[in-house]
């Protein structure tokens, strides 16, 4: 199947995801990849990401997603994001705890580029938020977001919850008031369920989601290409392979074509049941 057609028809997502790394300065209780400071880094080299991004544009992809781990632990990440954004619009997922001093200054060239940094903020008060994400997470995030917004850098807020459908409306309103006050509008706030993989699986948290429940979005890691950014998870220190598409990641047409073939004539928008994006 033609990759561009599959993207145009919505059978596979238009965003190519790149797992920059697996290590992180946090150790969140629901982390899909069991990321933490000491884990195997599984870094994708910047030149590799840039090459795949250029191929993605040629194949008909419309955007890029960079995730990890915490991508901004890699010193070269801001410069790479700027280069990637000249190829396709970029969303970078971050815990938002590193944006001070030298690292914050390094982000300034991203102003005005088609880049959004998606920062996790789960609860409107520090205590419950930090119970999931670690000490002082809340304070660091609410300090970082305005700094980015002031510098003209796009910011999205992602809220990850065990049960979004039963989310207390009053708490949700407090959280929305908070992100608005920080300079992030409702259109840039996403709420999504915890996916029961990685550390969430170990902790008996979240919803189970397999290939049929997830939007197919090609995702590249140092270990191969996967069918979703929720695919290359780590459980018990071992990489999950149930959503592995191919070990081959270059040329990008190999995993992209394989994913399009796997999806076949599947209905577009099949992730609607869980709303996982």
Partner 1 sequence: MLVSPVEPAQAPLLARPYYRAEGTSPIVSSLAHVPEALEVTMPFVSVVLGPSAIDARAKELVIVRTSVLLECRYCVQTHCAAALDSGVTIAEVRALRSTRAPLEGWEREDERALLAWVDAVANGRGEVPADVGEQLRAHYSDPEVVELTLLCAATIMLNRYCTALALPSSAPTLERLAREGLS
Q: Which stretch binds partner 1 (CB under 8 A): 75-83, 155-163, 239-247, 266-274?
A: 239-247
The yes or no reply on residue 40 touching partner 1 (CB under 8 A) is: no
DSSP per residue over 191-226, as a string? Answer: EEEPBSSHHHHHTT-SB---TTTS----EEETTEEE
The yes or no reply on residue 208 touching partner 1 (CB under 8 A) is: no
CA 146 to chain CA centroid, nearest Å: 21
CA 28 to chain CA centroid, nearest Å: 15
CB-nearer residue toward partner 1: 125 or 242: 242
- Distance in angstroms (rounded) separating the CA atoms of residues 64 and 92: 8
Question: Residue 230 CB, nearest distance to partner 1 (Å)?
Answer: 14
Which positions from 58 through 97 interact with partner 1, judged by CB under 8 A?
A: none
CB-nearer residue toward partner 1: 142 or 263: 263
Interface pattern 240-259 for partner 1 (x via CB under 8 A): xxxxxxxxx-----x---x-
CB-nearer residue toward partner 1: 50 or 262: 262
CB-nearer residue toward partner 1: 169 or 264: 264
Contact in structure between 122 and 154 (CB atoms under 8 Å):
no
Question: Residue 19 CB, nearest distance to partner 1 (Å)?
Answer: 17
Backbone angles phi, psi at 76, to 5 degrees: -85, 0
Question: Residue 212 CB, nearest distance to partner 1 (Å)?
Answer: 11
What tokens appear for 201 in the block?
A: 């699986």
For tokens 């207390």, the residue is 168
Is cis: bond before 251, omega within 30 of 0? yes
Is cis: bond before 69, omega within 30 of 0? yes
Question: Residue 146 CB, nearest distance to partner 1 (Å)?
Answer: 43
What is the binding site for partner 1 (CB under 8 A)?
211, 227, 240-248, 254, 258, 262
């Amino acid at each position: 199947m033609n990759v561009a057609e599959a993207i145009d028809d919505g059978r596979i997502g238009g965003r190519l995801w790149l797992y920059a790394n697996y290590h992180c300065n946090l150790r969140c209780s629901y982390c899909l990849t069991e990321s933490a400071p000491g884990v195997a880094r599984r870094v994708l080299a910047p030149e590799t990401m840039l090459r795949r991004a250029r191929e993605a544009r040629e194949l008909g992809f419309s955007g890029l997603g960079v995730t990890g781990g915490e991508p901004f632990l890699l010193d070269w990440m801001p410069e790479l994001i700027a280069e990637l954004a000249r190829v396709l619009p970029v969303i970078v997922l971050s815990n938002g705890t590193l944006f001070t001093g030298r690292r914050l200054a390094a982000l300034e060239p991203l102003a005005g580029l088609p880049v959004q940094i998606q920062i996790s903020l789960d609860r409107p008060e520090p205590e419950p938020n930090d119970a999931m994400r670690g000490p002082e997470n809340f304070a660091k995030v609410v300090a970082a977001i305005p700094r980015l917004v002031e510098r003209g850098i796009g910011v999205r807020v992602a809220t990850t919850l065990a049960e979004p459908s039963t989310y207390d409306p009053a708490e949700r309103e407090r959280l929305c008031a908070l992100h608005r006050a920080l300079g992030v509008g409702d259109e840039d706030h996403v709420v999504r369920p915890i996916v029961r993989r990685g550390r969430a699986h170990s902790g008996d948290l979240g919803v189970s989601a397999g290939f049929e429940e997830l939007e197919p979005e090609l995702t590249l890691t140092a270990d191969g290409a996967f069918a979703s950014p929720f695919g290359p998870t780590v459980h018990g220190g071992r990489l999950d392979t149930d959503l592995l598409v191919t070990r081959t990641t270059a040329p990008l047409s190999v995993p992209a074509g394989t994913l399009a073939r796997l999806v076949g004539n599947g209905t577009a928008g099949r992730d609607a049941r869980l709303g996982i994006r």
